[in-house]
Chains A and B, each alone.
Chain A
């Protein structure tokens, strides 16, 4: 399962797109002047006629994606999470989601872990923004392998989808055993005492937290909730029933993201102690990503502490 190789999800995305381009002539790629950063240049290099740069104009780009979808293309629209979901939010809502356009919004630079560029470029509300839009699927892959699988898999999906990627090189968690099933949590490891549910760039922190708990004799199940909407409710309920306590972990504001989604399922179907590791309704700041995770409460140590709190609340 474990390798030490570090790969950014965005480069995996760009390379997968370039491969898909050969067999999917309907794929077109839209960028707003940061294709070098979103890594869609991998596609543009091979299929320049199907890659459209809109300059620094995200709203136009997003509505143009709706137009491309309306004439049968499958647009992949990329920019940073902040700009995609907030600058162009209404374009997504009214012109992509409302007419149920087949558009893939693949946003990079999700989370405070973006680091040095600071708050303006750290997408920490994007998942909440997208979750509230009717019919919008939300996916946050954890590593290069699952990013490639999600991108491959999303081609045949019918409807609008938001895919969130991080900025930084991420450990390659998965090997050949990994299978990405849209809408189904991936069980990274089983456990009996509680369940950690992580998504996106937080998965490595979750893995480290699970290991630290194991050292204290605590057995944690770990779910990779790569699909945040539609949420795998049955996996959440099973975790609650079988392990009795839960911790969610995401690099996102505490409101509106994975923790909110899981809490809603628990409240409705199977109440159980749950702790949410997320940004405490705050903006981030510039700095080293690792130090930011420490400062803003998203590190493995914070996940472990949250797990112990959840365990303490467990009845029986």
Chain B
């Protein structure tokens, strides 16, 4: 049986499209931010928050919930858009991104942002946090799962591999890590800056179950998460091939759109690409 019915898939695609539009609106309003990596992770985040994760937006600290850690914290507009759309906070809060006094910090702050399970932004650390969460929840017999989204540039951080080793050692099968494999980092292509491939082989060598998917296919994302849920005794890494800036023609695969402000004119073009009215 497919992970998603055609109707569910269509709805998730629409949700991801909406999230992308909110990302560009939010970064335009904030005057700065990271569009490229937010857009590349939009489908993953949409499937997690609107299909796969066991959460209660009306009770953000529900102890039995699944947890989401955006280890590549700079992509937080994608998280904020998903949280707003699921009703964790008011829709218009999004336009305060990065403004003084806002709950939507430039990188996620769990003490300010309702629904945010972990502070992040310094790369390479989210998987370690998930390891701690998984160990703690297991002690309590709590079946909550941990979903972590890592950037492909981010896995250059050595701590990621310390955490990968520990998650496999402790058989933390409730951890599912996505690598948002868009092939670009701040200074250029990962292949030129610091080669990270072969990514699946590295995770396999560390004892993980690995699934390789198209990170923009909601069906493949949902199926991979289901496979992770069925996998016992080891964590799962979903290597998701993505396009940085996905959905906005002039941002796609453009390294400079890692972090850049969006002008009024660019906003109009981006929303037009995404099939949205201004």
Q: Which residues of A does B touch, CB under 8 Å?
A: 28, 49-50, 52, 54-55, 57, 59-73, 75, 90-91, 94-95, 98-100
Contacts and interface: CB of A to CB of B under 8 A. Distances in A.
Contact of A71 (B110, B136, B162, B163): B136
Given A52-B170, A67-B135, A69-B132, 8 more contacts: A54-B166, A57-B162, A59-B128, A63-B132, A64-B131, A71-B63, A71-B142, A94-B122
A55 B121 CA distance: 25
A28 B119 contact: no
A90 B122 contact: yes
Interface of B: 63, 109-111, 117-119, 121-122, 125, 128-137, 139-140, 142, 158-159, 162-163, 165-166, 169-170
B128 A60 contact: yes
Nearest to A90: B122
A99 B119 contact: yes
Nearest to B157: A59
A49 B141 CA distance: 13
B139 A73 contact: yes
27 contacts: A52-B135, A54-B162, A57-B162, A57-B165, A57-B166, A60-B128, A60-B131, A60-B165, A63-B128, A63-B163, A64-B131, A64-B132, A64-B166, A67-B118, A67-B131, A67-B133, A67-B136, A69-B132, A70-B117, A71-B63, A71-B136, A71-B140, A71-B142, A73-B136, A94-B121, A94-B122, A100-B111
A57 to B, nearest CB: 4
Contacts of A65: 132
A310 B134 CA distance: 55
Contacts of B132: 63-71, 75
Contacts of B125: 59, 63, 91, 94-95
B263 to A, nearest CB: 32
B135 A63 contact: no
Nearest to B132: A67
Q: Which 9 A-B pairs have the closest CB atoms?
A: A67-B132, A63-B128, A64-B132, A60-B162, A57-B162, A67-B129, A71-B136, A67-B133, A68-B132
Contacts, number: 103
A90 B121 CA distance: 12
Among the interface residues B109, B139, B142, which one has the most CB atoms of the partner chain A within 10 A? B139
Contacts of B130: 67
Nearest to B158: A59
Contacts of B169: 55
Nearest to A25: B139
Nearest to B116: A99
A281 B163 CA distance: 36
Given A68-B136, A71-B136, A63 B111 contact: no
A52 B128 CA distance: 13
A66 B137 CA distance: 13
B162 A28 contact: no
A95 B166 contact: no
A71 B137 contact: yes
A197 B93 CA distance: 51
Contact of A70 (B122, B129, B162, B170): B129
Contacts of A99: 109-111, 118-119
Given A59-B128, A60-B128, A95 B119 contact: yes
B119 A94 contact: yes
A60 B166 contact: yes
Contacts of B118: 66-67, 70, 99
Contacts of B117: 70
A66 B132 CA distance: 7
B122 to A, nearest CB: 5
Contacts of A54: 162, 166
A63 B148 CA distance: 14
B274 to A, nearest CB: 33
Contact of A60 (B63, B119, B163): B163
Contacts of B129: 63-64, 66-67, 70, 95
A150 B262 CA distance: 53
A70 B110 CA distance: 10
A287 B59 CA distance: 58
Nearest to A54: B166
B194 to A, nearest CB: 19
Nearest to B110: A99
A71 B64 CA distance: 10
Contact of A59 (B135, B162, B170): B162
Contacts of A63: 125, 128-129, 132, 159, 163
A59 B132 CA distance: 12
A70 B139 contact: no
A1 B122 CA distance: 49
Nearest to A94: B122
B255 to A, nearest CB: 26
Contacts of A28: 135-136, 139
Given A99-B110, A99-B119, A68 B166 contact: no
